[in-house]
Amino acid sequence: MSQEHPGQFKRTVLVTGALLTVFAFLVGFYVLPRAQTNTLEGIWQGICRAAGLVPARSPSTDVASPELSSVVVPSSMRGSGSPEQIGRGATLALRCTMCHGASGLSAANSPNLSGQYADVIYKQLIDYRRGARVDVVVMTSLAKTLSDQQVTELAHYYAYLPKPGGRVNLNDAPALVRVGDPIRNIAPCASCHGSSDRTANAPRIDGEPRSYLERQLIAFRSDARHNDVNGSMRNVAHQMTSTEIAQVSRYYAALRP
Amino acid sequence: MYNARKLVLAHLWAAFAVFFLALLLGEWQMIVRSPLHAWINVPEHYYRSVTGHGTAMAYVFPTLIAMGLGYAISELSLKIPLIGIRWAWAAYFLLVGGALVAVAAIASGTSSVLYTFYPPLIASPFYYIGVVCVVLGSWVWVALMAINLRAWRKINADKPVPLAMYANVAGAFLWAWTAVGAAVEILFQILPVALRLRETLDAGLARVLFSWTLHAIVYFWLMPTYIAFYTIIPRAIGGRLYSDTMARLSFALFLVFAMPIGIHHLFADPQVGSGFKFVHTVFTALVAVPTLLTVFTICASVEIAARLRGGNGIFGWLKALPWKNPAMLAVALSFVMLGFGGAGGLINMSYQMDSTIHNTQWITGHFHLIFAGAIVIMYFVIAYDLWPHLTGKPLVSSGAMRTQLWLWFLGMMILTIPWHLAGVLGMPRRMAYFDYSNPVIAPEAWTVVSGVIGGALLVLSGILFIYILLRGHRTAPAPQPEYTFSIPVHAVTAVPKILNTFGIWVALMIALTVANYGFPIAHLMSLKTSVPGISVAK
């Protein structure tokens, strides 16, 4: 780079930069897509694909897929509800008492709702209402009568009720609950469902009826239940044996005081 | 130095205090996830610690080092008192305050999202506000560096900008531009959800914006180290800088190539097209140019030092090097780690090979080797070199310094090389716990135990480092010779204008960012995809 020709150096830098860019784009957007000869696409389609523009799949080739959960839990569900919301929720909850108990504790192998997280109840009720979770006999028809506001109030009411039970000693828990099985891609139950950690939208399951837990795990395993976000629960359940399902259900059910 | 002495000292002490606390967290993490310790059963505590360790080590520590060194360079190389010292103090308190707010948010358990934010995970808004304050503080520094250089140019028109200041301002401009990605991500995607103004965000777009920052930030961390390579080491070991031009070119090229390459962090992300992934691979490969220029120039400079001390032969000169000098030892150890880390980096940046090690423990090994190893070991040297000039008291314990550097090197190698191996075997990164009593993964248990041992050496090294600096404050004051930067072999009388200014390099940096990021960002924005934010607060 000569002192006498500073302009020349500048030009060299700019031309090199431009050539490099052109080269990189040419290979990335023309040569490589063309090299993938298994597609019957034209040049322009190849460029679009390399740019990330994926053509919409034609609906005719799609297999009918089950209704998936589309719930967006509003940020208002992150805190606790106002006294008014909880009060209205308590009134609304009168129609739930037949199965879920007068104080949210079931004597009928239905889930206990007392002290359940508000976002969980909100999501499940909306999923029932929209058809992402199906219980034709009871819950679907009940949920269809509820407005968004009522769902919010019910959720806050049940979250407000005390959760029975004390601190769990995880060291007594089965390995699947405590540490999961990484090789089979099974995360520890405790890392989402409480005891050691909690993930949004994951319910507390300690003290839930054993038959309910087993039924849900089997439903997830067979894809009959499919309202878990991104298949997170189905991916776990697919890997579980019937013995394991019975074992973890028994463990969590026994945590009922 | 004129009036920035206390300012620089405050920056460096804050940096090393944060560093030391985060170092302890790191070792705690190694212990609890190893088979040496019963599982704590609370992954949340582990992730809280990882978030604290990452936030402190990635955002607060290197930023404070770059700023402190930058203020020092401004006064020492330009030989004018720092302009805007009040602003600098205000920025310092903003940064430290922001860091404290972020740390408080992490400690409260509401912000365990890890330092890469991982949207749609949503932490407490205080966490993001704290991080934004850190960035705002550093932007004041960027402005001050530009202002001071400008003031110097006014009195020294057409004179070559001192190399240290040229490099320093290159680093500042790089940081100003690279921080924009994460700033936009936080302000327009994450913070509105954290503040409950919105329920959803575009996680794919947020990740692309973060990648804008994520790779170039590494070169921002690297800048103080490269400044030390070029402007401190040759002088400290009694040699000459082989080429001033080569040095300027390296810094200018880092400015250009650090930016348009971040999508190589998103090879597994479906929302980015493969064409852009390839383009980013090409530009990532080009970072090898300034890196190899540096390796060549520094090796040549070191050889000059050896030959000045009577070394001869093709390799015989290596024996003549001042190995007892901590600066010499550090640069050698740093190059070894840079070599291993760089070789691993070639695999990370290759679209195909990356899939073998993507999101495995390999990645953790890689960036610890490069950043915590090759880069941070030179931060120690910067402190050792500046300390006598900041305190007016000599650092006498050269033996302790060498022990400290060796401990750091050994600890880092014992920590990171098994991590690389574990990654190749498929161990995912950022897992709170593995049950190594499971026979299938039991053979990998030693890699984690090795991490505990390596981490323990690093903690020892950290303690020794803090001790050496503290002892430096207690030594009897002694007059220090004037601080100098290294002198090139050929005296710099004139520099091509292009290597004395930043215009074309900044223009290229912005142009290439637009070329490589413009379409993916515009495309993702047009899709208006959204997912619900997931609060991690309990």
Confidence bin at A4 (pLDDT 50/70/90): low
**A144 and A217 inside one domain:** no
Asked if the model's pLDDT at residue B161 lies above 60, the reply is yes
- Is A17 domain-assigned? yes
Looking at the fold, whether A141 and A118 belong to one and the same domain comes out as: yes
The shortest C-alpha distance from A22 to chain B (Å) reads: 10
Put simply, the answer to whether A179 touches B39 (Cβ < 8 Å) is: yes
DSSP-assigned letter for residue B326: H
CATH class of the domain comprising B5-535: mainly alpha
- Decide if A165 is inside a domain: no
Show the domain range for A18. Answer: 10-51
Closest alpha carbon within chain B to A117: B538
A179 and A128 fall within a common domain? no
Would you state the pLDDT for residue B475?
92
Strand partners, B534: B121
Q: Looking at the structure, do residues A140 and A84 belong to the same domain, yes or no?
A: yes
Please state the domain extents for chain B: 5-535
Give per-residue pLDDT as tens, A191-247. Answer: 888 766 777 789 999 889 999 999 999 999 999 999 998 899 999 999 999 999 999
**Residue A57 belongs to a domain:** no
pLDDT of residue B354: 93
Give the C-alpha separation, A43 to A46, whole Å.
Answer: 5
Locate A127 and state its tokens.
Answer: 């999923």
Cross-chain Cβ contact B536/A200 below 8 Å: yes
Stated as kind and residue range, the H or E segment containing B257 is: helix B244-257
Distance from CA of B42 to the nearest CA of A (A): 5
Partners of residue B533 in chain A, C-beta under 8 Å = 75
Task: For residue B366, indicate whether it is catalytic.
Answer: yes
Encoding tokens for residue A245? Answer: 């399902």
User: Annotated catalytic, B430?
Assistant: yes
The pLDDT tens digits for B510-519 are 999 999 999 9
Average pLDDT, chain B: 94
Q: In 3D, which of B503, B513, B490 has the Cα closest to residue B169?
A: B503
Q: What does pTM read for this prediction?
A: 0.91
For B69-103, the pLDDT digits (tens) are: 999 999 999 999 999 999 999 999 999 999 999 99
For the stretch B378-422, pLDDT in tens is: 999 999 999 999 999 999 889 999 999 999 999 999 999 999 999
Chain A to chain B Cβ contacts (< 8 Å):
127
- The tens digit of pLDDT for each residue in B467-520 reads 999 999 999 999 989 999 999 999 888 898 999 999 999 999 999 999 999 999
Selected residue with higher pLDDT from A77 and A121: A121
Residues A104 and A180 reside in one and the same domain: no
pLDDT value at residue A148: 94
Q: What's the pLDDT score for residue B18? A: 97
Active site residue B368: yes
> Are both A86 and A143 inside the same structural domain?
yes
Nearest residue of chain B to residue A198 (CA atoms)? B538
Q: What are the chain A neighbours of B274 within 8 Å (beta carbons)?
A: 28, 32-33, 49-50, 52
Q: Could you give the CA distance from residue B212 to residue B265 in angstroms, rounded to a whole number?
A: 10
The CATH number of residue A140's host domain is 1.10.760.10
* Among B291, B319, B308, B329, CA closest to B240: B308
- CA-to-CA distance for B85 and B3, rounded, in angstroms? 8
Residue A59 lies inside a defined structural domain of this protein = no
Cβ(B95)–Cβ(B134) below 8 Å = yes
Residue A106: per-residue pLDDT? 84
Of B45, B240, B309, B430, which residue is the catalytic one? Answer: B430
User: Of A160, A196, A157, A181, nearest to A237 (Cα)?
Assistant: A181
Joined together, the tokens standing for residue B156 give: 């020294």
Cα distances from B391 to residues A35, B237, B373, B464, B484, in angstroms, run 63, 22, 27, 19, 16
Catalytic hit among B48, B264, B366, B420? B366
Partner residue opposite B497 with nearest CB, options A6, A73, A78: A6
Sequence-ordered list of residues with C-beta below 8 angstroms from that of B420, at least 6 positions apart, any chain: B344, B361, B362, B365, B366
Does residue A123 sit in the same domain as residue A144? yes
State whether A177 and A248 are in the same domain. Answer: yes
Catalytic one of B47, B367, B409, B465: B367
**In Å, how far are B238, B316, B319, B401 from B312, measured between CA atoms?**
16, 5, 9, 28
Secondary structure percentages of chain A, helix, strand, coil, to 5:
55, 0, 40
Pairwise CA distance, residues B381 & B469, whole Å: 11
Q: Do A156 and A177 share a domain, yes or no?
A: no
Residues of A in contact with B205 (CB under 8 A): none
Does A217 reside within a domain?
yes
Question: What is the tens place of the pLDDT at every residue in B363-383?
Answer: 999 999 999 999 999 999 999
> Where is pLDDT greater, at B44 or A26?
A26
- Predicted confidence (pLDDT) per residue in B163-217, tens digit: 999 999 999 999 999 999 999 999 999 999 999 999 999 999 999 999 999 999 9
**Residue A91 shares a structural domain with residue A136:** yes
Residue where one domain finishes, among candidates A160, A192, A220: A160
Q: Which of A3, A13, A52 sits opposite B504 (nearest CB)?
A: A13
Shortest Cα–Cα distance, A80 to chain B (Å):
11
pLDDT category of residue B226 using cuts at 50, 70 and 90: very high
Residues across chain A: 257
| Residue A47 lies inside a defined structural domain of this protein | yes
Q: Which residue of B has its CA nearest to A7?
A: B498
Q: Is B215 a catalytic residue?
A: yes
Active-site annotation holder among B47, B219, B220, B226: B219
Taking each continuous run of H as one helix and of E as one strand, the counts in chain B are 19, 4
Helix, strand and coil percent figures for chain B, each rounded to 5 = 75, 0, 25
Residue A132: is its pLDDT beyond 70?
A: yes
Whether residue A203 is contained in a domain is answered as: yes
B429 is catalytic: yes
Contacts with B261 from chain A: Cβ below 8 Å: none
Q: Between vectors from CA B527 to CA B526 and to CA B531, what angle results, nearest 5°? A: 130
pLDDT score for B377: 98
pLDDT of residue A2: 46
Domain annotation covers residue A64:
no
Chain A nearest CA to B479, separation (Å): 41
| Active-site annotation holder among B429, B471, B483, B523 | B429
State how far residue A87 is from chain B, nearest Cα, in angstroms.
Answer: 23
For residues A49 and B208, which has the higher predicted lDDT (pLDDT)? B208
**Total domains in the fold of chain A:** 3
